[in-house]
Amino acid sequence: MSNQLELVAEERTVSGKHVSRLRKQGIVPANVYGLNQPSTSLQVTDLVLQRLLSHGGRSVILSLKVGSQPAVQAMIKHVQHDPVSGKATHVDFYRVSATEKLKTQIQLHFINEAGPASLGDVVVLRPLNEVLVECLPVDLPPSIQVDLSRLTELGAVLRVGDLPVDPGVTILTDHNEMVAAVHQQARAEKADEAEGEAEAATSAPGTPAT
């Protein structure tokens, strides 16, 4: 695979409450599993991990090298974050086979956002940020483009089934789910107001029974 991202990690010898010491040193504890092989405890520097994530590391196959062992193909399966600082506190890597299809979430990349502006005072709804796909590692797209210029009239809707993908990629998310839609601004505001009033009514204290 061309332009494949690379990540060098080290085997981790500490576990449990002791991993907090690693985090204080700018090291993120990790694990790699998959392909019917035992899980291995790893550690990566926070700086290297953040650089990887900023280059789309969540949705690409990377070359993972641990110590002197041969590099393996893997992908980031899950990243835990500190709820206050937002820093990564743990990451799971999943080994992949070049000959076996995998399932993963792929981010949607919205382009031509200025397109619907020609319709006037409108708002573009975007309820989905990612979709589930199945494909071989070599066919895994870093993202899927959503061309908003296709929303050429009020009420226009783009659904999952309208998304462009290569032949080797199958989208598993319901093809009828809405990805983007264009509505008049006033209509959208009224919908927000109605939702807010409904939430207020639900949270208001009830009248005591007599």
Mean pLDDT by groups of 10 residues along the chain of 210 residues: 75 88 93 92 93 78 89 92 91 93 92 69 87 93 91 89 95 97 67 56 49
Q: Tell me if domain 5-96 and domain 103-197 are identical in fold.
A: no
Q: What is the pLDDT of residue 27?
A: 94
CA–CA gap between residue 75 and residue 15 (Å, rounded): 22
Q: Give me the residue spans of the domains in the chain.
A: 5-96, 103-197
Residue 60: predicted pLDDT: 82
Identify the burial level of 99 via C-beta atoms within 10 angstroms of its C-beta, where 0-12 means exposed, 13-18 middle and 19 or more buried: exposed
Residues 129, 110: Cα–Cα separation, whole Å: 9
CATH class name, domain 103-197: mainly beta
pLDDT in the model for residue 210:
38
pLDDT of residue 51: 87
Q: What is the pLDDT of residue 116?
A: 61
CATH class of 5-96: mainly beta
Show Cβ contacts of residue 18 under 8 Å, excluding neighbours closer than 6 positions: none
Distance CA 19, CA 28 (A): 8
Q: What is the pLDDT of residue 33?
A: 94
